[in-house]
Chains A and B, each alone.
Chain A
């Protein structure tokens, strides 16, 4: 994949993180270099910053699409103005991420764009002795049935679907609620606390892990 980002430091840690996830990453620091690289190679995914020296991200995107490049494009930007979003989606962007972002979130979106589902897409999710049936929306732990409300279920399913990965509160809010609740990330804490009383409290092994400053993770231990 190609990472186009003029801020060296941002480019560095994103590339580092993606390489750690075993992606092959090329990096371009300006628009014209990016154009040279992207027009000559078939990338699966381009992560594109909008404010670039040389050629703007939107312009680059337009040219690529005109050339018939089908690579998925994830736009990174510091501008989250709605008009910008619309303009870029029209130019051919597939997804959009506003700075600052949690790397975990970038990763989830990258994987989604590459059509590599984070876990097997079966209707049965299993984390430790926790079982979730996505069809009937039933949750069992250690064979015992847990009664969850709709939102609690949605939260647990999202955590389980990304088991072993740290999910930020913003990601959880956007996925389980919607963007109107973005300013209200403590709603996540409240729901997680309720979920814990049902999922973890009756059992010796705790599955819902808190990663301070980052978010929550479902698994038997915090991932290193």
Chain B
């Protein structure tokens, strides 16, 4: 999983925030529950203390102070209810102390002594042996005769603590479910929120120099996504304008360059036709004409590349067998290889169908073979392979020539690039052949790559989209050999 991705981070944050909220809420409910339970317990204890105070008051009216204990026992039986009751007089004597409860959960005798305070009612928490605690509520009673009593009631806090523990357990049990909902919900939300971004990316991917007039779909949501697609569209517009400008420039430059070349060639040719020229003059004119020819070739090549890169529509777009095209082309060029005693072998499948401009793809084969033959020494070997590989038609031209130094490999498709500057000119060409190959491949949604071992040979690999095989439909290739 890509931990740096926006999706991952958003889901992460979302889950953390949601779990944090859950934690806070849990803590708040826990505290509220504790307060409420303690409050109601305290209230109960105070009520009982007041009732007992009433009893003490009534009994003292009847001068029957000693019967208070019996009365309490009879009315409230604190030992059966796990309650604690103690009545102390101001002189320190204990008027009544409830017996130990049945469960022996606490020993009333060991509880801390009463605490007199100025207020009528106070409550406190007393620690019991064994780490347990007891809530004590005290009520101060002042009789008209001046006698003062402190009536204390108490209850162990076990029940409250058990309830709180139950709540905590419930919260913890809910945690995985909440975490799952947070992660799942977050993932779905983020995915939905980011899906327009994916769409924009996919649309942007489809737009290349060949279809710059297309625009991205703009979601009218008034948010960041709309701004993003609008901004991208503006950028594509500017690119489109730049491309159109350069296309116009190429057309103009083409015209401006070709016209003087035409004049030059025409005038030189008519001069060369002069009957009484010395052979030396004829030779010089011929040399000048050769240069004009080369210049015209360069202009042609450059403009061909520019037009291909600008995505100009191909002359034709038909399905054809790349293997057949390759072998027929190799056949036509066999003499070039024979001239250098180079063995050209054609291998691979037949019926490798691709779609496109046949003349231009043929030029790919021509240029690659020409290149291979040119840079392979006499008696070398050049291999041409065509095969189908997955959804790709693959054409490979391999030679055992001088190879290309690794540091120059990335540049072989650059315009005017030559591996061996010294042997350039007389080999013909201006270093545009491979650039043209690259541009043609790109115009066919394909690609070309070069690999090489210095001194042992090079391999050029062309990949084009394969079209579904047609069987009974035998497009017979017009063979120029006929």
Contact = CB atoms under 8 A, between A and B. Distances in A.
Interface stretch (A33-41, A62-70, A139-147, A187-195): A187-195
Contact of A102 (B269, B360, B436): B269
Contacts of A183: 297, 300-301, 363, 366-367, 429, 432-433, 436
A136 interface: no
B336 interface: yes
Given A81-B251, A99-B261, A103-B266, A211 B272 contact: yes
A13 B267 CA distance: 7
Interface SS majority for chain B:
helix
A51 B312 CA distance: 20
Interface in B255-269: 255, 257-259, 261-269
Interface in A50-66: 51
A181 B335 CA distance: 14
B255 A51 contact: yes
A23 interface: no
B314 interface: yes
B289 A214 contact: yes
A82 interface: yes
B312 A83 contact: yes
Contacts of B264: 100
B297 A17 contact: no
A92 to B, nearest CB: 19
- Interface size class on chain B is 35 or more
B428 A185 contact: yes
A184 B287 contact: no
Interface in A159-214: 169, 176-187, 190-191, 193-194, 211-214
Contacts of B480: 176-178
B402 interface: no
A153 B240 CA distance: 50
Nearest to A16: B270
Interface in A1-47: 7, 9-10, 13-14, 16-17
A213 B362 contact: no
Interface string B84-101: 000000000000000000
B134 interface: no
Contacts of A9: 263, 266-267
Interface string B349-367: 0000000000110110011
B370 A184 contact: yes
B335 A82 contact: no
A100 B251 contact: no
A176 B339 CA distance: 19
A178 B266 CA distance: 24
A116 interface: no
Contacts of B242: none
Interface string B269-310: 110111100000011011111101100110011010001000
A100 B262 contact: yes
Nearest to A82: B315
A86 to B, nearest CB: 8
B254 interface: yes
A99 B259 contact: yes
Given A183-B297, A183-B301, A81 B255 contact: no
A224 B273 contact: yes
Contacts of B363: 180, 183
B312 A81 contact: yes
A214 B297 CA distance: 14
The 3 closest A-B pairs by CB, nearest first: A212-B286, A213-B289, A213-B286
Given A10-B263, A79-B254, A103-B265, 4 more contacts: A14-B266, A80-B303, A99-B258, A183-B297
Interface of B: 251, 254-255, 257-259, 261-270, 272-275, 282-283, 285-290, 292-293, 296-297, 300-301, 303, 307, 312-315, 329, 332-333, 335-336, 339, 359-360, 362-363, 366-367, 370, 428-429, 432-433, 436, 480-482
